[in-house]
């Protein structure tokens, strides 16, 4: 009986370790699972016999995004919402356009996906920061054809330091990597975070924290 209990403990530990080691979307048990509009942890699947080529197709990444906004950038996503056939396949894609002279994809993170970015046009200053306690900053200036990786969950950004528009494409290791824009999450939460929390966390005067909350 003791041996059986030992086996069960080892089995449970290995099962837990296997679960924790999974760092991307779970593998599909079918060739594909074309998404329907109903949500579970992901999406329900269409009957494979009813799938068509359009379920695996998206058109429009040749079109520039509108960068006339406060940060001077536009992200165009291609995930399971745009291509239902991506459901359960564990990948997605984005195109990002950056206005000249400082177009910024502001500091943000993807809680469920690693990002690999390639510059198609222009010159970008990019970087990411590691987790506490080190908070190491890794940074590069990328030119056309350069590639950079942003590990899953880490805060990162891209800034156009050139005089012309810049374009980058990025692949992500999740059909729904999520995005948390740091400034928006902190200063534009719903409902608002108590300014006293922001004052202490960011070492700001209360009136500065309250002002920042009005800017989003």
Annotated binding site for oxalate: 105, 110, 115
What's 145-199 look like in SS3? CCEEEECCCCEEEEEECCCCCEEEEEEECCCCCCCEEHHHHHHCCCCCCCHHHHH
Give 91's DSSP letter.
-
Residues in binding site: 105, 108, 110, 115, 156
Helix axes 195-202, 206-213, angle to 10 degrees: 110
CA distances from 201 to 93, 176, 183 (A): 34, 30, 13
Alpha carbon distance 212, 196 (integer Å): 13
Alpha carbon distance 158, 131 (integer Å): 19
Q: How many CB atoms lie within 10 A of CB 62?
A: 6
Assigned token pair, 216: 């989003």
Alpha carbon distance 145, 143 (integer Å): 6
Residues in binding site for Mn(2+): 108, 110, 115, 156
Alpha carbon distance 103, 89 (integer Å): 32
């Amino acid at each position: 009986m003791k041996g059986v209990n030992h086996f069960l403990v080892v089995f449970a530990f290995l099962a837990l370790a296997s679960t924790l080691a999974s760092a991307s979307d779970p593998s599909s048990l079918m060739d594909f699972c074309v998404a329907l509009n109903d949500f579970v942890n992901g999406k329900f699947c269409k009957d494979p016999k009813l799938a068509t080529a359009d379920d695996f197709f998206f058109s429009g990444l040749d079109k520039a995004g509108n960068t006339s906004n406060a940060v001077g950038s536009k992200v165009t996503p291609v995930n399971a919402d745009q291509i239902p056939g991506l459901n359960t396949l564990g990948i997605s894609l984005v195109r990002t356009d950056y206005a000249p002279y400082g177009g910024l994809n502001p500091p943000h993170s993807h809680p469920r996906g690693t990002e690999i970015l390639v510059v198609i046009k222009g010159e970008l200053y990019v970087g990411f920061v590691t987790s506490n306690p080190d908070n190491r900053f890794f940074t590069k200036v990328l030119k056309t054809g350069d590639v950079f990786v942003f590990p899953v969950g880490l805060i990162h950004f891209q800034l156009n330091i050139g005089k012309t528009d810049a374009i980058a494409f990025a692949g992500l290791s999740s059909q729904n990597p999520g995005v948390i824009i740091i400034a928006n999450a902190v200063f534009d939460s719903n409902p608002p975070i108590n300014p006293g929390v922001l004052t202490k966390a960011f070492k700001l005067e209360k009136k500065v924290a309250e002002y920042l909350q009005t800017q989003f």
